Structure 1
Amino acid sequence: MAGKTSWFVRLLEEYRGWVILFFCLPASFVFDLCLKASNWIRRSTSSPQLHDKRVRKIQDEVREWNEQPESAKQPMCTSRPNWLSLSTTFFQKSKCHKIGVMLFDILKLDEEKMTVKVEPLVSVGEITSYLVPKGYTLAVTLEIADATCGGLALAVGMTTYSHKVGLYQESVVSYDIILGNGDLVHVTKDNEHKDLFYCLPWSHGTLGFLVAVELKIVPVKPFVHLKYIPVNGQNNYCNEIRKLSGALDKDADTPDYLETMVFSKNEAVILVGNFSDVTTDEQRNKINHVSKWYKPWFYKHVETFLRRGGGEEFIPLQDYLLRHNRSIFWVVEAMIPFGNHPMFRYLFGWLNPPKPAFLKFTTTPGVRAMTFTKQVFQDIVLPMTVLEKSINLAEELFDTYPILIYPCRIYNHGDNKGQLRQPRADQMCPDANYGMFYDLGVYGVPGKVKRKESYNVVETMRTMEQFIRDNGGYSFLYADIFMTREEFEVMFDLTLYRQCRKTYKADGAFPDLYDKIRPEIDVFKVGKKYAEKS
């Protein structure tokens, strides 16, 4: 039986693209239609005025939990299914007491304060569709439409505007949180709960239930004027990234949007975008709706500018903001190698992307154990001082391109101000209160796996994690980590977090952060098993 199973798995791997085309994509499409129908019904009965009533119901459920005997209590978590989250892990909610936090409404747009207040399950796609026609967008807008505003607020987010404003947490004005005892608190950086304000980002729901978040918005124009700048030579494109991001001069005239795709160690395309109107025929002829289903995947389109010698386009803002959504950056290529072929795009491109929720919904423990050893999906925050070193190490460890680079400010808020350790003195920008860091996005199938060579994911990732710790960086915690608890506490500062756990009644009421985000499978055991099979 084991031999037959192994043969069947190899067959699925060999013809994965066709399996996904004829089964996964149609099933995912139907699955998505059901979700959209559910969302349409929900939106048509939207009732922001009932927000307070819904919050009181959640408070009542938490207080009922508190009335249980101590011996019967399990830590609380939301009842939202694992498969709806974008995390690569499957937190074991069966071991928790689940509370229904079904909050989906946009509550208030305040154009005078330049903020929008939303319930936590409002998605990036929904808030973008709401704000852009009004001439605004979130200060930090993720490229994946299914991400939720609340999930990002309690985790982390970064985008191509982050070199101006920093991480997602810097765009949060306030949080409304239900504590472990059922109390509702309004949290800002200036009120009596300012310690909690700094600890909620990166807490992943382990300090309380988020019921509303107020976010900064920025004024926009209908288009992004995007310039594609190909650069040869690693030192050349790294230095250009530092210059354009403002890492060398805080008063530099930086673009509205900035990202880089590295296609080999010595080849990159830098994308420089600015808000724009389109008023002339010449500009109209350069409009590109990059998110249309028949268009080339965005990163493939970008790659063409290596040989075209650069260029410029005007991209409708909403298309730009969700430009990586159809190909989930370049993850879909690993699933459907022929997915960018013109014939596929015109005939089946409207089925893309496979819904992340569907992929998680259909992931069995066996598939989970196998796939995490054969692919990499990591976002890593590092200081600009090690940009070249990190690209070289990523090539050595993963041997997969493109690599994504988003510059981002990391502010120095002082000691013990949340889980992020503050930038070191040599990482700070001159005369600024922040250091310029960047997201190193490595996604895809490692070269050794493609060549069917031995690949030990545990050794590889632990080497990268050691590099991150040594250089004062951070791993995004939606992805698998390979650190022990002790190593995790070297990367992150849990001093204030532990104090807040006690002060705000989270101990015993919610899972511990490390327990919440660590992989649900034994990565060391599974990694060794599949490395030996390679």
Structure 2
Amino acid sequence: MSRSPARISHDRAVDALRAQLVARPSGAPIRLAKPTSNLFRFREPPGEGALDVSAFSGVIDVDGAIADVGGMTTYEDLVDATLRHHAIPHVVPQLKTITLGGAVAGLGIESTSFRNGMPHESVLEMDILTPDGDVVTARPDNEHAALFRGFPNSYGTLGYALRLRIELEQVKPFVRLRHVRFTDAADCARAIEDICAGGTYRDERVDFLDGVMFDSSELYLTLGSYTDSAPPLSDYTGQRIFYKSIRDRVVDHLTIRDYLWRWDTDWFWCSKALGAQHPLVRRLWPRRYLRSDVYRRIVAFDRRYDLSGRVYKLLGKPAREPVIQDVEIPVERLADFLRFFADRIRISPVWLCPLALREPTGWPLYPMKPGRLYVNAGFWATVPLGPDEREGTYNRLIENKVTELGGHKSLYSTSYFDEDEFWLAYDGETYRQLKDTYDPNGRLPDLYSKVVRNQ
């Protein structure tokens, strides 16, 4: 079978990258030279010698309901390519510059997750560059099946996905939204269970499902349905702000592309902390810079030089702890978690997104139970520290509560687990077996060192 020009170029890039890695001294740290990141474990940018993976940032081929994609391809570019075929990945994470390889190695979620699981569950095979320079093709039914199942939630500590073959979902051009209000978290949780069980709400099909808690007595579920036609469409890529519309509108309509990126324009609601929602600033802020990667670079600069901390100290205000987390809570314990959160953490709004695994066997490094419905709660803000409190106080409270309720915490941000607790929660035995097989020389940090110690 002849290879396409895109596949020939990809294969040449694989050979060049392997040569880069093999040529590095055995003790030299391995880092990727990536222009963007959606992690919230800030560290110094990779220096000279970081692996150049820019050649893996494109779509190799789209054939019906299947796509071959470079591992460093952003979802923005991936969606642009697949929409030309009236299709999208089964799960499209909320932010444009999340990469496909990053979403598989570090997990992802969105409003199709109640029926499609997480991004790695629609992966058919992966070419993975191991730390010693080998490239293995991992599938669920070959000699690298253990790596295929253990790669999700490994965060680049077992290797890097260079190519992924994924399933696609056929789409319609528009999405009709219904914003349904609840005044009680338990009622909202029961509605989530009913919708996820039947795939409908009031006899109308639900293709997309997420929600927002503004406070303990004001919660909304947003129900999206594919449609071939729509009345005048809304636009949340400029002056109007999507999350504010949830309170103001009962029904809304968006193009499928604008629906997928409805949260990116304002980084959910976090652009407010950067001044981007002030009416005057909004009018002056160029539309092309109303996007999550721009805001994250601003935050990274602030964190690097502790600008906010210096301002708080100068004004005599207490230090603040960043609380940037996504957690998965069993739906039957969701109301318990939200009550705890409103009483102890007091961050608002909170994003809610139901999730159920597609695969009946589960995924070892993020051991959620197959057949069980969870709800992701996402919250991204800061909390003032009391006189006797130190940074980590509120993140640790949340970690303990999530564990108590039988949930899990995503590892893209700061974590405070002790080591024994961590490996118990994230299947240390399976991880160590994979590490011994695919990184026997320890060229990459282990998972605990990477996500807790930030090495």
TM-score above 0.5: yes
2:434 aligns to what SS in structure 1? helix
CA distance in 2, matches of 1:238, 1:195: 35
Could you say if the C-alpha distance between residues 507 and 434 of structure 1 is closer, same or farther in structure 2, counting changes exceeding 3 Å?
A: farther
Could you say if the C-alpha distance between residues 515 and 356 of structure 1 is closer, same or farther in structure 2, counting changes exceeding 3 Å?
A: farther
Could you give the per-residue CA deviations for residues 285-331 of structure 1, whole angstroms, max 9, x where no partner exists? 4x21233x122x111111224xxxxx212211111000011110111
Contact 1:373 1:456 (8 Å CA) reproduced: no
Say whether residues 1:317 and 2:256 are aligned partners: yes
Contact 1:326 1:352 (8 Å CA) reproduced: yes
Aligned counterpart, 1:483: 417
Aligned counterpart, 2:245: 301
More helix, by proportion:
1
CA distance in 1, matches of 2:108, 2:366: 13
Amino acid at match of 2:343: E
Could you give the per-residue CA deviations for residues 308-355 of structure 1, whole angstroms, max 9, x where no partner exists? xxx21221111100001111011111221xx43545434436242461
Contact 1:227 1:313 (8 Å CA) reproduced: yes
CA distance in 2, matches of 1:106, 1:55: 15
2:133 aligns to what SS in structure 1? coil
Shift of 1:128: 1.4
Aligned counterpart, 1:259: 210
CA distance in 1, matches of 2:47, 2:76: 32
CA distance in 2, matches of 1:362, 1:464: 26
Amino acid at match of 1:434: G
Shift of 1:116: 1.1
Say whether residues 1:77 and 2:31 are aligned partners: yes
Aligned counterpart, 2:8: 49
Could you say if the C-alpha distance between residues 94 and 143 of structure 1 is closer, same or farther in structure 2, counting changes exceeding 3 Å?
A: closer
Amino acid at match of 2:306: V
Shift of 1:167: 1.4
Say whether residues 1:499 and 2:451 are aligned partners: no
Amino acid at match of 1:443: W
CA distance in 2, matches of 1:78, 1:506: 20
Shift of 1:127: 1.1
Aligned counterpart, 1:86: 38
Shift of 1:466: 1.1
Shift of 1:474: 1.6
Identity %: 21
CA distance in 1, matches of 2:278, 2:49: 47
Could you give the per-residue CA deviations for residues 384-416 of structure 1, whole angstroms, max 9, x where no partner exists? 12100111111123212111110001356548x
Aligned counterpart, 1:12: none
Work out which of the residue numbers 390, 402, 406 in structure 2 matches 1:468: 402
The two structures have a TM-score, normalised by structure 1, of 0.76
CA distance in 2, matches of 1:263, 1:359: 25
CA distance in 2, matches of 1:75, 1:146: 25
The two structures have a TM-score, normalised by structure 2, of 0.88
CA distance in 2, matches of 1:196, 1:268: 40
Could you give the per-residue CA deviations for residues 243-298 of structure 1, whole angstroms, max 9, x where no partner exists? 1122999xx986110011111101111111111111xxxx424x21233x122x11
Shift of 1:455: 5.9
Amino acid at match of 1:503: T
CA distance in 2, matches of 1:421, 1:122: 27
Shift of 1:360: 5.5
Shift of 1:507: 4.1
- Name the Cα RMSD after superposition: 2.8
CA distance in 2, matches of 1:488, 1:507: 23
Shift of 1:479: 1.0
CA distance in 1, matches of 2:199, 2:406: 19
Aligned counterpart, 1:107: 60
Aligned counterpart, 2:313: none
Contact 1:154 1:201 (8 Å CA) reproduced: yes
Work out which of the residue numbers 107, 113, 118 in structure 1 matches 2:69: 118
CA distance in 2, matches of 1:465, 1:473: 9
CA distance in 2, matches of 1:233, 1:362: 39
Could you give the per-residue CA deviations for residues 80-116 of structure 1, whole angstroms, max 9, x where no partner exists? 36xx2111113567699733222212111121xx121
CA distance in 1, matches of 2:413, 2:234: 33
CA distance in 2, matches of 1:388, 1:163: 18
Amino acid at match of 2:58: D
- Bigger-Rg structure (1/2): 1
Contact 1:290 1:315 (8 Å CA) reproduced: no
1:242 aligns to what SS in structure 2? helix
Amino acid at match of 2:235: H
Alignment of 1:171-182 (within 5 A): 171-182=122-133
1:515 aligns to what SS in structure 2? helix
Shift of 1:461: 1.3
Select between 101-110 and 323-332 the one with higher mean Cα deviation: 101-110
Alignment of 1:266-415 (within 5 A): 266-278=217-229, 283-285=230-232, 287-291=233-237, 293-295=238-240, 297-305=241-249, 311-336=250-275, 339-348=276-285, 350=287, 351-353=289-291, 355-356=294-295, 358-359=297-298, 362-363=301-302, 365-367=304-306, 370=309, 373-410=320-357, 413-414=360-361
Shift of 1:53: 0.7
CA distance in 1, matches of 2:46, 2:74: 25
Alignment of 1:141-220 (within 5 A): 141-220=92-171
Work out which of the residue numbers 188, 193, 204 in structure 2 matches 1:237: 188
Could you say if the C-alpha distance between residues 90 and 375 of structure 1 is closer, same or farther in structure 2, counting changes exceeding 3 Å?
A: closer
Aligned counterpart, 2:316: none
Could you give the per-residue CA deviations for residues 415-443 of structure 1, whole angstroms, max 9, x where no partner exists? 8x5212242xxxxxxxxx52111110112
2:373 aligns to what SS in structure 1? strand
Could you say if the C-alpha distance between residues 96 and 170 of structure 1 is closer, same or farther in structure 2, counting changes exceeding 3 Å?
A: farther
Shift of 1:444: 2.2
CA distance in 2, matches of 1:149, 1:400: 30
